[in-house]
Chains A and B, each alone.
Chain A
Amino acid sequence: MFDDLHDPDPPTAGLDALARVSERAGTIRRRRTAMLGGGAVAVAIVALAIVIPGRDADRIEPADDTEVTASTSAPVPDCGRLTDPVWLPNGAVAGEPDVASAIDPSSGEFVETRTWADAQGNGVLAELPAPTDVLDLPPTGNMWGLRVTDEVPGVDSHEVVIWRRAGNCVARFLVGGDPEGAASWGAALVDQLTIAASASGPSSGDDGWCADVLGRRVACVLAAAVDTSAADGPQGAAYQIVGPADSGDPPTLRGEVGVVQLIVGADDVVSPRSRLSMETPIPGTSLVSVVDLVPATETWCGTVTTPDGEVHRVGVSPSVASDGPVEAPAPCDDGSTGTSVETTAPPTTGIVPPPTVPPTSVPVGSDGTVLLLDGAGDVRLVDAQGMRTLYDGFDPDERPTEGEFVLVDGMALSPERGTLVVSDCCEPFPGDLIAVDVATGEHEVIGFGHLPAFTELGNLVWAGLGSTDTGELNPVVLLGDATGAVGVTLHEFPVDSRIDDLAVVPGPDGERVVVLLATPTETQLWVFPAGGGDMQLSATVADVPWTAETPMSLAGWTDEAYLVLDDANDQVLAFDRSTLVPIVGPEVPNASISLWITPTTSRSISPDRVVTIDGVAQPGEFVRVR
């Protein structure tokens, strides 16, 4: 069939064609690498204040002068690019590598290779002599090539994770993270994937370089001896411990952008704590580190109750730590500052006040706003002021044959409707999160990821890449504040999967993050609480693999079901919200390329790009609606 449509004399592909394909593939790879590196924005710590309750009630200190950044208005704090060479002990001379010179049999060139070893003197890592050339990467001072040497047989490069801690900054370097690139050279790419405050990184006090190989911690080279049990920890320590609560000294509170972190006694009770809070013992002490998300509020107030019943009221205000050491105490909503001792019960749930949503008329869509991605790749907002273009994206129809090309793949409006967050993406790696001021149209890159969604309380949920546990490029769902500062990883998916869509869905028992996950063999629906927790549901949606050119997409929800649009088969699938069992869904348009249904709205875009909102077709050409 169709034989007459085929070329009767097709050309033969020769070396020139292969060269073009190879060059183009290299361009794609480099672009991905650049996205990984460039997107690895330092989500470092703005050390705001240490509010010391009790005896030092008015004393507020920066956690470490060197980590205080210039402004909390900047969403990307600066830990600096941690670019020092990797120093691991070689077993003989700590911090010095073994250096070997030899003629590279493959190139015939004289090369010098430096090798690091673990504490027992076993060779572990070897530096490639010319990594940027070998790996075909753009020259940069932030990358090194590393390869696992023969002394650790069976260790794949991606099983090596390099950590660096400098004061409060933790950098995790992924080795061999690009499954399609570096690993194919039998080598590894070291790149700065994330820099984040992390309770799951090197243990406190590991101030320097560390490496995990196959999950085994290779002895670290510490920048300085750190004694976390000291009454006054040295500058540069992971945590500055003022004094353990169980010895009668007050606990220490340090606020950070997006995170409240408290160092308290193991038996102290911290309140309020959200369901996202994590607690990590501090080795060598009777203290624990409590890390909890602080959403987009300027002040956090709470209490620490010691075992003897003393209640320390503590507060921190990120906004006061604009530059350098904090001089002003953090205000609490009752007017108190710093810390005080009281006996009133603290609030027990929630750490964010509900946003104030101004009243507005409803021009289209019964919830008052519609987000549209138009045929030119621009993001438009429809609200009481009409339709406006807020973000100028690439035109998907004007795809260049070479060079940068990213498409808007996600858009979310904050509950108070003041901020639009869009993401661009080029599969399979996520790109940038861009915040757009709805009032002014000004925008800035706030983070690294895609598919943003706001919670009702104004926190941001989005899809990212990179496991905090394994260092691999697992798809992850992150929760942070509206500035893009990462709070916690809500969920981590297998490395051989891809997040195709994400939404935050309200419900009577709390908000749920709904994720459409593509795997090599099928598409799955995952549901878990936006507030964190162990509950989760997952189910197979269809046998649509991640290689499908048109992935499935979320299509909204009803009171009973989560909805998925199967564009390939022109159908909408419904899954019971409690069980994810397929059920009969609502009546929806037969053919849509994008669909968004809620209990109060219905929006769809037909294959010819016409958007219909609550039954009324709108002028223009669109490709995605929310």
Chain B
Amino acid sequence: MVGRFDDVDVSFVDRFEELHRVAYRAAYAVLGNRTDAQDCAQEALARALVRWRTVSEYAPAWCARVSTNLALDRVRRERRQPPRPADAGSDESIADRRRDLVAALKALPKRQREAVALRYLADLPEADAASALGCSVGTIKSATSRGLERLRADLGPAWAWED
């Protein structure tokens, strides 16, 4: 790796796999397609690398948030196009759940949507999500709570809640 990535900050290289994992996880939850999720994750990481000195302190949450938003943007852009197929072998009911969730997420206020995405799509701790969004843990808690409450209202009790 040395030589090929001489211009890449060493700390970024060290954390690359971790960041990719988080960013990919969040994007895949929205998209259900590996290729697209990898595209979003890599775009998010590239943006992080460009501003690494700024975001390195809360890079996982930052990458997850950007990746989630890229994924949601991609869904919105493709709304007039035939839906991209989910990966082979994926459950059709899961695809339906994902579609419903994405629609409900998009209807949330931005702060609530990002809080929910960081906490439950990227599985990040509250403190990390708070750092990425530049707010307190309490704000994350309340935004997440309100977001989930609204998701439940939008998706209805028939939606397969797992918690």
Give the interface of A toward B (CB within 8 A): 1-7, 10-13, 15, 17-22, 24-26, 28-29, 32, 136, 179-180, 184-185, 397-399, 401, 520-522, 543-545, 547-550, 567-570, 591, 607
Task: Say yes or no: is B92 at the interface (Cβ < 8 Å to chain A).
Answer: no
Q: Name the contact of A549 in the complex, choosing from B9, B20, B65 (C-beta under 8 A).
A: B65
- Show 10 A/B contacts (Cβ-Cβ < 8 Å), sorted by A: A4-B160, A5-B32, A24-B46, A25-B49, A32-B50, A136-B7, A180-B51, A543-B135, A549-B65, A568-B110
Which residues of A sit under 8 angstroms from B136, Cβ to Cβ? 543
Closest A-B pairs by Cβ, 10 of them: A545-B134, A13-B20, A24-B46, A568-B110, A568-B111, A25-B49, A25-B46, A5-B29, A7-B28, A21-B45
Residue-wise interface mask of B (52-68) relative to A, using a CB-CB cutoff of 8 A (1 in contact, 0 not)? 11110000001001100
Task: Say yes or no: is B133 at the interface (Cβ < 8 Å to chain A).
Answer: yes
Which residues of B sit under 8 angstroms from A1, Cβ to Cβ? 120, 161-163
Kindly identify, within residues 117 to 163 of chain B, every residue whose CB is under 8 Å from any CB belonging to chain A. Answer: 120-121, 132-136, 139, 160-163
Cα(A28)–Cα(B16), bound, Å: 18
Question: Could you tell me if A2 and B162 are in contact, using CB atoms closer than 8 angstroms?
Answer: yes
Question: Could you tell me if A28 and B101 are in contact, using CB atoms closer than 8 angstroms?
Answer: no
- Once A7-B25, A11-B38, A28-B47 are accepted as A-B contacts, the answer to whether A544 and B20 lie under 8 Å apart by CB is no
Cα(A544)–Cα(B135), bound, Å: 7
Question: Could you tell me if B110 and A10 are in contact, using CB atoms closer than 8 angstroms?
Answer: no
Question: Could you tell me if A549 and B54 are in contact, using CB atoms closer than 8 angstroms?
Answer: no
Question: Could you tell me if A548 and B134 are in contact, using CB atoms closer than 8 angstroms?
Answer: yes
Which residues of A sit under 8 angstroms from B54, Cβ to Cβ? 180, 520, 547
Which residues of B sit under 8 angstroms from A398, Cβ to Cβ? 77
Cα(A399)–Cα(B43), bound, Å: 12
Kindly identify, within residues 10 to 62 of chain B, every residue whose CB is under 8 Å from any CB belonging to chain A. Answer: 13, 16-17, 20-21, 24-25, 28-29, 32, 34, 37-39, 41-43, 45-47, 49-55, 62
Which residues of A sit under 8 angstroms from B65, Cβ to Cβ? 549
A383 to chain B: closest CB distance in Å? 31
Q: Name the contact of B162 in the complex, choosing from A3, A15, A26 (C-beta under 8 A).
A: A3
A35 to chain B: closest CB distance in Å? 13
Which residues of A sit under 8 angstroms from B120, Cβ to Cβ? 1-2
Which residues of B sit under 8 angstroms from A545, Cβ to Cβ? 133-134
B54 to chain A: closest CB distance in Å? 7
Q: Name the contact of A21 in the complex, choosing from B42, B94, B134 (C-beta under 8 A).
A: B42
New contact pairs (8) apart from A7-B34, A184-B7, A522-B134, CB-CB < 8 Å: A3-B162, A5-B28, A11-B38, A13-B17, A24-B43, A136-B7, A543-B134, A543-B135
A181 to chain B: closest CB distance in Å? 8
Give the interface of B toward A (CB within 8 A): 1, 4-5, 7-9, 13, 16-17, 20-21, 24-25, 28-29, 32, 34, 37-39, 41-43, 45-47, 49-55, 62, 65-66, 69, 73, 76-77, 91, 94, 97-98, 101, 107, 109-111, 114, 120-121, 132-136, 139, 160-163
Which residues of B sit under 8 angstroms from A521, Cβ to Cβ? 134
Closest chain A residue, CB of each to CB of B45? A21
Question: Could you tell me if A28 and B109 are in contact, using CB atoms closer than 8 angstroms?
Answer: no
Which residues of A sit under 8 angstroms from B114, Cβ to Cβ? 549, 568
Question: Could you tell me if B139 and A7 are in contact, using CB atoms closer than 8 angstroms?
Answer: no
Which residues of A sit under 8 angstroms from B73, Cβ to Cβ? 399
Which residues of A sit under 8 angstroms from B39, Cβ to Cβ? 401
Question: Could you tell me if B62 and A547 are in contact, using CB atoms closer than 8 angstroms?
Answer: yes
B130 to chain A: closest CB distance in Å? 10
A472 to chain B: closest CB distance in Å? 15
- Once A521-B134, A543-B135, A549-B114 are accepted as A-B contacts, the answer to whether A570 and B109 lie under 8 Å apart by CB is yes
Question: Could you tell me if B25 and A6 are in contact, using CB atoms closer than 8 angstroms?
Answer: yes
B63 to chain A: closest CB distance in Å? 11
Question: Could you tell me if A550 and B110 are in contact, using CB atoms closer than 8 angstroms?
Answer: yes
Cα(A4)–Cα(B163), bound, Å: 12
B120 to chain A: closest CB distance in Å? 5
Question: Could you tell me if B42 and A22 are in contact, using CB atoms closer than 8 angstroms?
Answer: no
Which residues of A sit under 8 angstroms from B13, Cβ to Cβ? 18
Closest chain B residue, CB of each to CB of A591? B109
Question: Could you tell me if A543 and B139 are in contact, using CB atoms closer than 8 angstroms?
Answer: yes
Q: Which of A3, A4, A520 has the most CB of B within 10 A?
A: A4
Q: Name the contact of B29 in the complex, choosing from A2, A15, A26, A184 (C-beta under 8 A).
A: A2
Closest chain A residue, CB of each to CB of B58? A547
Q: Name the contact of B50 in the complex, choosing from A13, A28, A568, A570 (C-beta under 8 A).
A: A28
Cα(A47)–Cα(B38), bound, Å: 56
Question: Could you tell me if B101 and A5 are in contact, using CB atoms closer than 8 angstroms?
Answer: yes
Cα(A5)–Cα(B161), bound, Å: 12
- Once A13-B16, A18-B5, A549-B65 are accepted as A-B contacts, the answer to whether A5 and B111 lie under 8 Å apart by CB is no
Question: Could you tell me if A5 and B20 are in contact, using CB atoms closer than 8 angstroms?
Answer: no
Question: Could you tell me if B42 and A20 are in contact, using CB atoms closer than 8 angstroms?
Answer: yes
Question: Could you tell me if A397 and B77 are in contact, using CB atoms closer than 8 angstroms?
Answer: yes
Q: Which of B17, B45, B121 has the most CB of A within 10 A?
A: B45
A186 to chain B: closest CB distance in Å? 11
